[in-house]
Amino acid sequence: MLIRIFVALLIAALPAVPSAHAADEAQLKRGKVLFEAADCTSCHTDVKGGGAPLAGGRKLTTPFGVFYGPNITPDRKDGIGDWSEAQFRRALHRGIDKKGDYLYPVFPFAAFTGISNVDVADLYAYLRTLPPVARPNLPQEVNFPFGWRFLLVLWRALYFHAGPLQPVEGRSAEWNRGRYLAEAVAHCQQCHTPRNFLGGLATKLAYAGNAQGIDGMKAPNITSDAATGIGSWSVDDVAQLLKTGQTPDMDFVGSGMSDVVKGTGALSDADRRAIAVYIKSIPPIRTRKPPAS
């Protein structure tokens, strides 16, 4: 009798094993999509120098100095292998590293603060599966006086608004999903909005283009202005660009946007359309001259 009961309990427990494994795989799959959409590889890989993926060393030239993307592989000494999920979340949500130091806003924590805790956990889980690389981080070359980290307290008081991003009432689920992906995950505004002399986003000109981007790249106006923005584009046009990089005039994006498209191309059609719906809802802003894409 006891043997039959034991066998029955064992058989009943068997389906639970594949389910748990499936849940882990699902989390890693979601984390990979978030990783791609956030374009982590671009800033954390020294492609020109032949560096390993995410091992750091990518040179980022800004008006405030030269920054080098850090190693975010799971290496315990040089990467973030000894970071807990809570410490990883604090870096994304609060811009504070494992040691408790404020991170420079060249790392877009001002956007990543909007990412949900669930998505942060998925991203963290995925990063833990990648190969560790032992490559020390390079020191930042920050212009005077921006190298004084205590000045970041002032910057944060002026320009940092802690998340996560909350849905906007009265807007559709699709619009809110698009806003979340554009504002928090893909951090589109960080490149397409001009900055002031302190490096804060000029939010009154949100998405109106930035002629002084990282490495001198010029991000175009993507508001719905017909003359200097993308007012003539349809939602489908924007979604198509996010999938293949192709513009309505049959051209293809270049510069940093080509890397962005590699990430947004990993999203589902529904998510790309959601981003397009949100982008097309941005009020038009007329600029003097549209920067080259």
CATH (domain of 280):
1.10.760
Side-chain-facing half-sphere of 123: CA atoms under 13 Å: 22
Residue 2 domain flag? no
The pTM (predicted TM-score) of the whole model is: 0.88
- Is residue 206 domain-shared with residue 117, that is, in the same domain? no
Q: Same structural domain for residues 74 and 134?
A: yes
How big is the CA angle at 181 (ends 153 and 186), to the nearest 5 degrees? 60
pLDDT at 13: 46
Contact (CB, 8 A) for 81 and 134: no
85 and 46 inside one domain:
yes
Q: Provide the token pair at 38.
A: 């956030």
Q: What φ, ψ does residue 65 adopt, rounded to 5°?
A: 130, -175
Q: Note the residue count of the chain.
A: 293
Same domain (yes/no): 182, 124:
no
In a domain, 245, yes or no: yes
| Whole-number pLDDT of residue 289 | 63
- 181: three-class secondary structure by DSSP: helix
| pLDDT of the chain, 293 residues: tens digit per residue | 444 444 444 444 444 333 334 559 999 999 999 999 999 999 999 999 999 999 999 999 998 899 999 999 999 999 999 999 999 999 999 999 999 999 999 999 999 999 999 999 999 999 999 999 999 999 999 998 888 888 899 999 999 999 899 999 999 999 999 999 999 999 999 999 999 988 899 999 999 999 888 887 889 999 999 999 999 999 999 999 999 999 998 888 877 888 899 999 999 999 999 999 999 999 999 997 655 54
Q: Is residue 67 part of a domain?
A: yes
CA–CA dist 18, 269 (Å, integer): 29
Phi, psi of 291 (to 5 degrees): -60, 150
**What's the number of CA atoms in the CB half-sphere (13 Å) around residue 140?**
20
User: Which residue reads 């998340």 in tokens?
Assistant: 163
Residue 251: per-residue pLDDT? 87
How many CB atoms within 10 Å of residue 3?
7
Count of domains forming the chain: 2
Range of the domain at 106: 24-164
The residue type of 63 is: P
**284 assigned to some structural domain:** yes
- pLDDT attached to residue 11: 43
Domain match, 159 and 195 both: no
Same domain, 99 and 127: yes
Last residue of a domain, one of 110, 133, 164: 164
In this structure, the answer to whether residues 175 and 98 fall within a common structural domain is: no
The answer to whether residue 10 sits within a structural domain is no
DSSP letters spanning 154-174 = HHHHHH----PPPPPTTS-HH
